Amino acid sequence: MPSSDFSKELQVALEASAKAARLCERVQASMSGQSIEKKDKSPVTIADFGSQAIIAKALRDAFPDVPLIAEEDSSALRTGDNSQHLLRVRDEVRVALDDSTLSGETICDWIDHGNASEYAEMFWTLDPIDGTKGFLRSEQYAIALALVVEGQPVCAVLACPNLANADGSKGALFSALGGRAQVHDKRGASDIRVSATSNFATSRFCESVESGHSDHDQSKAIASLLGIAGPSVRMDSQAKYAVLARGDAEIYLRLPTRPGYVERIWDHAAGCAILSAAGGEITDVDGKPLDFRHGAGLERNRGVVASNGSGHDKLIEAIATTSA
């Protein structure tokens, strides 16, 4: 594990992610399903672009030599048909950064700071809204940012604005640095740890809402094989990693739904860092560590298996058995 102190990186990431989260909350409260369609037909909201603009600007200003591999680019905003969306993004970013002089062109340039695609010894990766469909349903989504050094996520922030807390409040900001996972609120930061549960019969199970993201039928077979009695909790985004990291669930499976599918690094890097720092374990379905050294894709991995660490090997065995 790289041993450098990345406390400045964490502070910048926390501040930028918090600003982006406030923008997303504001947009979600004011919009009714407004989105544009990317070429792959996945929905992109005004909040995706605004969130990426804010975070990319902060990273570029503070760490200009560190590339950013992010999910979005500004090409959809630069077309004539979407000029009204660019104006909305501009207005939201102006409010978020308290700068009424910002132009749409400047904001597009910030967004495109995230256009790096090749592996580097040190780089950031960002999903400005992980779980966009959850965002559009007013359910779970996350702003996911991680610093990857020598192929390992070493510093990360997950902002989960809709995640319920034990005290009845809503919204949480999670971080990882130096093997320490924390949750941040108005009272400050407190450490979090995974559940100590080792009995599969009482384990709680998370998986994606979208059946295209994980094989739900195989998940049922695995649960039956291991004696997991409770129903799966389905939620969008890397909020699932946060739920495991703070001890509210024990297992998260993202099982391949088709041959050759490659997971994207921005969908897992931040969550992996936080869950690992909280004492959890993350591998692919073959039991191999996730390999972040191949650009934007987890090219050497199949699926993702995350747990509190208890019985992880048995999870991998169950996956192999139910895949046969």
Please tell me whether residues 255 and 317 are part of one structural domain: yes
132 among known catalytic residues:
yes
User: Is 48 in the active site?
Assistant: yes
Question: pLDDT for 76-99, tens place per residue?
Answer: 898 877 888 999 999 999 999 999
Contact 290, 282 (CB under 8 A): yes
**Looking at the domain assignment, is residue 235 inside a domain?**
yes
| Residue that terminates a domain, selected from 191, 217, 249 | 191
Taking the mean position of all CA atoms in its chain, how far away is CA 86? 24
Separation CA 160–CA 173 (nearest Å)? 6
Query: Is residue 113 located within the same domain as residue 212?
Result: no
Q: Which of 45, 125, 132, 283 is catalytic?
A: 132
Whether residue 57 is contained in a domain is answered as yes
Q: Are residues 162 and 245 in the same domain?
A: no
Domain of residue 269: give its range: 200-323
Same domain, 319 and 265: yes
> Is it the case that residue 59 has pLDDT exceeding 70?
yes
33 — pLDDT class (breaks 50, 70, 90): low
Which CATH number is 304's domain given?
3.40.190.80
Q: Are residues 170 and 279 in the same domain?
A: no
Quote the mean pLDDT of the chain: 93
Which residues 6+ apart lie within 8 Å of 215 measured at CB?
255, 256, 257
pLDDT given for residue 211 in this prediction: 57
pTM, two decimal places: 0.94
Query: Which one of the listed residues 45, 48, 112, 248 is annotated catalytic?
Result: 48
Question: Is the domain of 290 the same as that of 156?
Answer: no
Are 142 and 29 contained in the same domain? yes
Please tell me whether residues 13 and 149 are part of one structural domain: yes
Distance CA 144, CA 28 (A): 17
Q: Does 2 map to a domain?
A: no
Tokens for 320? 């192999």
Same domain, 26 and 159: yes
Contacts of 158 (CB under 8 A, 6+ apart): 142, 143, 144, 145, 173, 174, 175, 238, 239, 241, 242, 270, 271, 274
Last residue of a domain, one of 167, 191, 215: 191
Q: Are residues 160 and 204 in the same domain?
A: no
Q: Is 308 helix (H, G, I), strand (E, B) or coil?
A: coil
- List Cα–Cα distances, 279 to 116, 196, 306, in angstroms: 31, 10, 11
Question: Both 35 and 177 in a single domain?
Answer: yes
Q: What is the pLDDT of residue 324?
A: 67
Q: How many domains are there within the chain? A: 2
Which CATH number do you get for residue 90? 3.30.540.10
Does residue 130 sit in the same domain as residue 216?
no
Tell me whether residue 1 is in a domain.
no
Which of 151, 168, 191 is the endpoint of a domain? Answer: 191
| Six token digits for residue 16 | 């930028």
Q: Tell me the pLDDT tens digit for each residue of 107-156.
A: 999 999 999 999 999 999 999 999 999 999 999 999 999 999 999 999 99
> Is residue 255 included in any domain, yes or no?
yes
259 and 120 in contact (C-beta within 8 Å)? no
